[in-house]
Amino acid sequence: MKRSMLIIGILVLSISIVSCNKLEKIKERFSKNNTEQVNPFNANSGDTNRDIISFNNKVVKMDDEHSDFVENFQNSLAEMEEYVKSVTVNPQFSGVAPIFTPGIMIYSHQELKAPDILGKDFQRLVDKMKDTMTHLEILKKELETYKLAEDWKDDKGKKIADIKEKAAILIKENRTAANDLFTKLSPRADKAEIEVLKDHPLKTQIIYSRETMELAQKIVDESYNVTDINVYKDIFSSQYQQMEKLYKRNINEKIPSSEEQKERSYRAFNSSINDFLGKMRIVQRSLNENNQELNRDLDNLEREAGYVLDRYNTFVD
């Protein structure tokens, strides 16, 4: 699941356009006893809402990397397992050994501290995610070495089974920690965002856009849990109608002239929602026609949901 980042960037924008007197008052909030200046970019800046939102956004980026790495690793294991089986059964098998794509990890290797206001349990879950991912990276490297050394010619795939078993345990621990973390963090982050937005001139547009973006992510997430295609057709049709209503609501909400610098990114976000609706119509036709291209169409829908998330983050940044 792709979590969403909250509006920390737009707060910075707001600060940049206030008067000098207002700016001085804001600076005072980031000081201790008006004497010791607090770094607003560390985990404990002195602004509780900013700290929670900033932590949430960092965790989102790390979790996205973890999710992508897990998917990449599982695909590599499946491809290698299938290749070794084919070669073992038929030594004359002419297939080419799978090419592994690297899992790019940036945020996962950076230090990530939970603000003190959240308590130690949040840090424990973050550390669990990072620790399990470190071990998964080691296992993936073992799989790559196994392939390059052609060790399957000796053990007939035994090493793959061993790596697969260990990886399954680590992946479960990583995903459980992530779900536990977001279950605890999301309500706190949502509350912090509401406080930050309380007097913001784009409050309505941001809240509406976030609801729309989150529905797009939810639609994609639920497409992975289909057990009855006929029931899913009705669910998907209802989701389309809901998304269309949110889209119309968004385009009817105009950007005030005082915030015209956000007009372009707001239009881009709404345009991405319109494109997402177009991909939904393609999926709907595939569902109704029992089209064999349904999986491809759902993959395209997921890709479009990624663009929606990117455009949302650009708008609120």
The CATH code of the domain that includes 299 is: 1.20.120
Would you tell me how many other CB atoms lie within 10 Å of the CB of residue 88?
13
Average pLDDT, stretch 8-17? Answer: 43
Does residue 208 share a domain with residue 187?
A: no
Residue 200 has a pLDDT of: 87
Report pTM: 0.72
Residue-level pLDDT at 45: 57
If one compares 34 and 83, the residue with the highest pLDDT of the two is 83
- Chain position carrying tokens 């207002």: 22
In tens, the pLDDT along 32-81 reads 444 344 444 455 556 899 899 989 989 988 998 998 899 899 999 999 99
The tokens for 208 are: 């509406």
262 vs 191: CA distance, rounded Å:
24
187 and 53 share one domain: yes
Contact, 137 vs 174, CB < 8 A?
no
- pLDDT at position 44 is 56
Residues 160 and 267 both lie in one domain: no
Residue 97 and residue 233 in one domain: no
Residue 15: pLDDT band with limits 50, 70, 90: very low
Q: What is the pLDDT of residues 161-207, one digit of tens each?
A: 999 999 999 999 999 999 999 999 999 998 998 888 888 899 999 99
> Does residue 243 share a domain with residue 94?
no
Amino acid letter, residue 26: I
Asked which of 198, 216, 240 is the last residue of a domain, the reply is 198
Same domain, residue pair 185 and 163: yes
Query: 143 with 248, same domain?
Result: no
Total domains present in the chain: 2
Residues 139 and 243 in one domain: no
Q: Examine the domain organization and report whether 106 and 30 are in the same domain.
A: yes
Same domain, 152 and 103: yes
- With 50 as the cut, is the pLDDT of residue 285 above it? yes
pLDDT at position 27 over 70: no
Which residue among 198, 216, 243 closes a domain? 198
- 190 and 175 within one domain: yes
Confidence (pLDDT) at 5: 66
How many C-beta neighbours within 10 Å does residue 131 have?
Answer: 14
The two tokens of residue 124 are 């424990």
Tokens of 14: 């707001």
pLDDT tens per residue across span 217-248:
899 988 888 889 889 999 999 999 999 999 99
Q: Which domain holds residue 298?
A: 201-317
Among the three residues 144, 166, 198, which one is the final residue of a domain in this structure? Answer: 198
